[in-house]
Structure 1
């Protein structure tokens, strides 16, 4: 069976809709907890695809959270052997950093549902299927676009929302989130929401409003990406 390595930092920020798509395509998900498991011991060459998920810390926090450095090493190994990867939020920032791009705080939070503005390259990518449907944003850091990568999307708050690089897709926003379990996000990030002055009721209502359309489009996007990138695996 084909294997998808999933690196996660919080139990409720899991592979979600990406996992659903890969499971239906015959992939077994191998979940590693970046905060607990020995990442360095995993033979990344034996995985068919690597998924790096989000978390409430920064790429630059390696001194305080040493597992960040282990993740960067795993990503660097994956890059050397041209392993297909999807990075989400922190995962996308880690990939950007491993490719030599700068990652830094925005100085403000982008939390909530809003639409993307796709670049010309984005219009030619699987992300074109998202249309005007608002996606879930939940971050305070931003990445620069690595040299040689294609910038795919932006918002008014954050100019770099997605990029592709060879067989890699990096998303600042949470297209993977299964909104059937959105309450886990609201509880898990309750302190951050309170500090940012964001009402969880508003987020909950938006999640209910958009979840059907988002699920349909997100799964189509991930399926199309798989067809383009994983077709030979």
Structure 2
């Protein structure tokens, strides 16, 4: 059976709806907990790696010193062009590993909205997200690394997705969220939601409106990315 690694920060921010798709594609999922497990096994592997989201910033290396090792090892992984998908914090980790700046944004973007796809976005796996509401949940943002394809923005942040070749894909937003398990997000992030005064009732209603459509299209996006990953010989 093929293996895919998922590097996880929070128990409830898992692969979500991606897990079923990966099972259908005969992948064995191996979760590694950031700060608890060694992630070198994953980052040194030729198998695909998915870097999931979390509430910490990539620049908080003083409080979370293992971030430095992760970023250094991720930099080497990306140089080898090993298949890597980053979601939210994962996208920020890819950005900083490629030499770009990651920093606090001007607004917390939390909620469901459509993306603004670029021409390159329409020619990528993100084409399945046209007119689809995705879940945004971030306060940090990033500059685009050099020599990447800019795939999407939003009304608040121009840099929402980029890719390097066919193997490396970074998504600032969440496509993997399982609408049936969305309540775990509302509970797990309750302190943040109340602090920034986000309407929890509205978020829950938006999940009912948009979650199933996103799940269907996210399945197509993931299948497209995996199908087009280029094998790496070294």
TM range (shorter): over 0.9
Q: CA deviation at 1:5?
A: 1.2
Which ranges of structure 2 fall in alignment gaps of 5 or more residues?
none
Question: 1:147/1:92 Cα in 2 relative to 1: closer, same or farther (>3 Å)?
Answer: same
**CA distance in 1: counterparts of 2:59 and 2:134, whole angstroms:** 26
Match of 1:198 in 2: 198
Question: Deviations along 1:17-66, whole A, 9 cap, x unmatched?
Answer: 233222211111110000211224x2644451011011001110011111
Match of 1:94 in 2: 93
Q: Is 1:108 aligned to residue 130 of structure 2?
A: no
Q: CA deviation at 1:231?
A: 7.4
* Contact 2:87–2:170 (CA under 8 A) maintained in structure 1: yes
**Matched ranges for 1:82-161 at <5 A:** 82-161=81-160
Match of 1:4 in 2: 4
**CA distance in 1: counterparts of 2:141 and 2:42, whole angstroms:** 30
User: Structure 2 length normalisation: TM-score?
Assistant: 0.94
**Number of residue pairs the alignment of both structures matches:** 232
Question: Deviations along 1:140-186, whole A, 9 cap, x unmatched?
Answer: 00011111100100111011000011211100000111121000000
Match of 2:23 in 1: 23
User: Structure 1 length normalisation: TM-score?
Assistant: 0.95
Q: CA deviation at 1:88?
A: 0.3
Q: CA deviation at 1:230?
A: 5.5
Q: CA deviation at 1:98?
A: 0.3
Match of 1:59 in 2: 58
* Contact 1:9–1:33 (CA under 8 A) maintained in structure 2: yes
Q: Which one has the bigger helix percentage?
A: 1
Which ranges of structure 1 fall in alignment gaps of 5 or more residues?
none
SS at match of 2:204: helix
Match of 2:47 in 1: 48
- Mean Cα deviation higher: 69-78 or 155-164: 69-78
* Contact 1:39–1:74 (CA under 8 A) maintained in structure 2: no
Measured on the aligned residues, the alpha-carbon RMSD in Å equals: 1.6
* Contact 2:82–2:232 (CA under 8 A) maintained in structure 1: no
- Mean Cα deviation higher: 98-107 or 19-28: 19-28
* Contact 1:53–1:90 (CA under 8 A) maintained in structure 2: yes
SS at match of 1:194: helix
